[in-house]
Structure 1
Amino acid sequence: MGRLKVEQLVLGPVSTNCYFALNQETKELLIIDPADQPERIFQKVAQMEGTPVAVLLTHGHFDHISAAEAVRDRYDIPVYACPLETEMLWEPSVNMTQYYGRPVSMKADKMPSDLEVFEAAGFKVQMIFTPGHTKGSCCYYFKDEDVLFSGDTLFHGSVGRTDFPGGSSAQIVESLHRLVDALPEDTVVYPGHDTSTTIGYEKRYNPFV
C-alpha cells in the first residue's frame, strides 16, 4: 500500500464504516462515506494530522451520507459520487434520511463517469460503476495501492441488500462479477459494513460469485 494509510470509524445507527485514506507523504486525506457523527470525523482528521481534500460517496443511503455536508462545509472540499445517484442524494424519501429525523438533500460537486480515473490526494482513483444496491452505487479503486472501497456492493462473503428502491439482485451479482473478474486477487477490499477482505477470497468463497 506504500503511501496509503487507511483508518476507519464505525458510525451511525447501522454501524457504517467511514474510511480515511491518508497520503503519508503529503498528509492529504480522503474521507469515504462520512456516515454520521461529524464531530467524531473531525476528531479523527485532527488525530491523523491530515488535510482533507475530498469526500468520496459510494452511494446515497442515509447511513453513508449523513455527515457529508458537514464535512464538506468544514473543510471546503468537493464531494464525489456517481451521476446516477443524483436523485437519491437529493430526495430525502429516497435516501431515507427523512425517516431518521435529519432529512438530507444534497448535490455532489464532481460526478466521474464509469471507469474514469481522477487524481485525489495524490492518488489515481478509478470510479467503477457497480449498480445493484442502488442505481448509482459505485466503488473506488486505488490501482497503484491495490485497494478497493466497495461501499455496500461487496461485503466479506456477501453482497449488499437489494430490497430498497433502486436495488436489483441481478445487477448486484453482475457488479460483483465485474469486480472479481477485473481486479487482482491481492486487492484489499474495504466494505461499507463489517470487516475487510480481498478479491481473491471473494472469488473463492463468496456464494454470490
Structure 2
Amino acid sequence: MNIKMDYTVIPGVSTNCYLLINKDTDEAVIIDPAGNEPQISALIEKNKCHPCAILITHGHYDHIGAARQLAVKYGIKVYAGEHEKELLADAYKNLSAHMGAKITLEADVWIKDKQHINPAGIDIEVIHTPGHTSGGVSYYVKDASVLFSGDTLFAESVGRTDFATGSFSDIVSSIKDKLFLLPDDTVVFPGHGESTSIAHEKKYNPYCQ
C-alpha cells in the first residue's frame, strides 16, 4: 500500500494537524483538526485528496476546533475514544471555555482500545493512552510504521497531566507499557513539535526511564 503523510501547523498553540493519504485511491484521513478549517482545507486541496474520516486523539479544544466544520463540508464522520465523551462534551474540561469560545463535540463513531479501523482503506490500530486525558488514544499504522501520539508522547517529553482527567502515572504507564511495545523503527508524530521514534524515546525520554 502506498501511504503518504502530510501536515500543517495550526497557529495558537502550534497544533499539528495531519493528513494520512492512501495514494492508491487518493482517500485521506484527517487527524486532530485544530481550529482553522480554511488552512486544513488548503492542505487537502494541495494534496488533491478526498477526506473520508476525522480521527481525534483527545478532546482538548486545540485538537477539535475545526472537526465539525470539516465533517459537514466533506460529509464524513468523526472518530474519538469511547472514554473521551465527558471531556468532549464539557467546554470547561476541554479548555475551550477558558479560551473565550465554548466548543463541544459529539463523535459519530466511538472507538475502543485495540480496535482496528479502516478509513481510506488504511488499517489503523486504536491504542487507548490515558494520562494527558483519561480518554485519549493514539493511532498506530503498521503498514507505514507510524504512530500518531496526540499529546501523550512528545520528542523527549510527555504531555501535561495537570488538566481535567489527567494523570502522570497513567501517561507514563501508557507510554512504557503500550507505546514502547511497538517496533523501535516506528516514527512518532505528536500533537505538537517535531517527530521522533520509539527507539529514540526509549533511550532518551527522561520521563520514561
TM over 0.5: yes
* C-alpha deviation, 1:90, in angstroms: 1.0
Query: Matched residues in 2 for 1:74 and 1:98: separation?
Result: 25
Q: Which deviates the most, 179-188 or 73-82? A: 179-188
Aligned-pair CA distance for 1:51: 0.3
State the partner residue of 1:94.
93
What SS does the aligned partner of 2:177 have? Answer: helix
Give me the CA root mean square deviation: 1.0
Give the distance between the partners of 1:189 and 1:49, measured in 2 at CA.
Answer: 25
Kept after mapping to 2: 8 A contact 1:180/1:200: no
Amino acid at match of 1:25: D
Match of 2:174 in 1: 175
Q: Report the counterpart of residue 191 of structure 1 in structure 2.
A: 190
Q: Which residue does the alignment assign to 1:160? A: 159
Q: What is the aligned residue count?
A: 208
Tell me the residue number matched to 1:57: 56
| Residues 79-133 of structure 1 deviation map (CA, whole Å, 9 limit, x = unaligned) | 1110110011111111111222221121011112100111111111110000000
1: CA distance between counterparts of 2:189 and 2:146?
Answer: 8
Instruction: Determine the structure 2 residue equivalent to 1:40.
Output: 39
Q: Is the 8 Å Cα contact of residues 180 and 198 (structure 2) preserved in structure 1?
A: no
Pairwise mapping of residues 56-205 of structure 1 onto structure 2 (< 5 A)?
56-205=55-204
C-alpha separation in 2, matches of 1:207 and 1:85: 28
Name the aligned partner's letter for residue 73 of structure 1.
Answer: V
In terms of mean alpha carbon deviation, does 124-133 or 101-110 score higher?
101-110
Q: Which moved more, 1:105-114 or 1:55-64?
A: 105-114
Q: Which runs of 5+ in 2 are unaligned?
A: none
Residue 165 of structure 1: how far off its partner (Å): 0.9
SS of equivalent residue, structure 1 residue 55: strand
TM-score between the two structures when normalised by the length of structure 1: 0.97
CA contact (8 A) 1:35 1:64 kept: yes
Question: Which residue identity lines up with residue 42 of structure 1 in the other structure?
Answer: S
- Output the CA distance in 2 between the equivalents of 1:64 and 1:106: 11
Note if contact 1:180-1:203 (Cα within 8 Å) is conserved in structure 2: no
Q: Is structure 2 residue 15 aligned with structure 1 residue 16? A: yes
Report the Cα offset of residue 180 of structure 1. Answer: 4.0
Q: CA deviation at 1:179?
A: 3.3
For structure 1, the 5+ residue unaligned runs are none
Range with bigger deviation, 197-206 or 176-185: 176-185
Contact kept? 1:54, 1:78, Cα under 8 Å: yes
**TM superposition score normalised by structure 2:** 0.97
Aligned to 1:27: 26
Q: Distance in 1 between matches of 2:133 and 2:151?
A: 9
Counterpart residue type for residue 187 of structure 1: T
After superposing on structure 2, the runs of 4+ consecutive aligned residues of structure 1 that deviate more than 3 Å are none
